[in-house]
Amino acid sequence: MEIVVTGANGFLGRHVVHALDRNGHLVLPITRSTSAVERSEYLRRADVVFHLAGVNRPDHPDEFTVGNVDLTEAIATELLSFNPVPILFASSTQATQDHPYGRSKRAAEEILQSYGQQSGKAVHLFRLPNLFGKWGRPFYNSAVTTFCYQIARGETVTVTNPEHVLTLAHIDDVVASFMQTLQQDLGLYPTVPTYNINLFDVARMIESFEAVRLARGIPDLSDPFTKKLYSTYLSYLPKERMTSSLTMHQDARGSFTELFKTPDRGQVSVNVAKPGITKGEHWHESKHEQFIVVSGEGVIRLRHMDEDQIISFYVSEEQFEVIDIPPGYVHHIENTGTKDLVTVMWVNEPFDAHHPDTYRATVTQDAEVS
């Protein structure tokens, strides 16, 4: 379809334009620089209008009327005169409030409701709360955007009204709901998933993300809001903070490097063994591991602590396999190739020097411990 998007350069508009484009639609963008003639041409061609443009932080209250009411009136009038089509409107939860911004949004809603009655075309009024996500403007779009920007740069965050509760919607959820309206009728007032959190807590959450990153950890992402907020925070990292140095523990046998550590999902590391080297020769009471060889070739051997039988797994870069190392099995990995053997290792808990749960033993009686 050919779809008009007003406010195409805005925070919401940019996301919608990308979504429409990857779904195969032709976007007809209307921005502040679009002439009245060009706007009319686009509206004549439109199959659907996504009316996302609006004013929310003007220099003068009169701009609310010009940007929110008059523009909506002009669009509705033009469509009624030559090309009535469905309209999706990005309204605001503030439309129920008695202040200049709220009144302007409510007036725009009323214009579009009248348009729908006259044209017989579907009208969808999305009363959106505060939005958060990538590509927002710090100190403009939302407090979340500002906090992410400041904390990602090591700046001090000032929360002037810590108990103020924000109702938030993630930009991807909003766009998904918008796309859904192209497939089905969601009614006059469609809803989007929202989250309630006060300013103090959201600032502390973002600060905790930074602390976790510095410790080479990953937050618990099982909670949908945490997952979306963490992704939002990472999108504001400056270039110089997109890389993190890792500590390689090296010796003549190779190296061992910890990548990520989490209290509930374990630890991921990279182990490098030089040709001819055998590493391991230990067992764990409760730890369990998974080994994946990604470069080189070798053999992983295991022996149950109470048995003599040796289990061998021949591994190489030719075929990625996950080898489980259960608790109670002595194990080692031997580099049988001519180049470094690189293994990605996952263990169910991060290493604790005070409780290492690692006990020396050999897989075979004549094995050389190294």
DSSP string, 128-147: E-EEESTTPPTTTT-HHHHH
Q: Which of 101, 233, 236, 329 does the annotation list as catalytic?
A: 101
Q: How far is CA 87 from CA 10, 51, 80, 118, 241, in A?
A: 18, 7, 12, 13, 42
Please say if 101 is a catalytic residue: yes
Amino acid at 286: S
Phi, psi of 304 (to 5 degrees): -60, 140
d(Cα 191, Cα 167) in Å, to the nearest integer? 13
Q: Determine contact, residues 334/298, Cβ cutoff 8 Å.
A: yes
Q: How far is CA 259 from CA 26, 219, 255, 268, in A?
A: 43, 14, 13, 5
List of E strands, the chain:
2-6, 26-30, 48-51, 87-92, 123-128, 130-132, 165-170, 195-198, 248-251, 254-262, 266-273, 278-283, 289-295, 297-304, 310-316, 323-325, 329-335, 341-347, 359-360
The alpha-carbon radius of gyration of the chain (Å, integer) is 29
d(Cα 290, Cα 332) in Å, to the nearest integer? 12
Residues marked as catalytic? 101
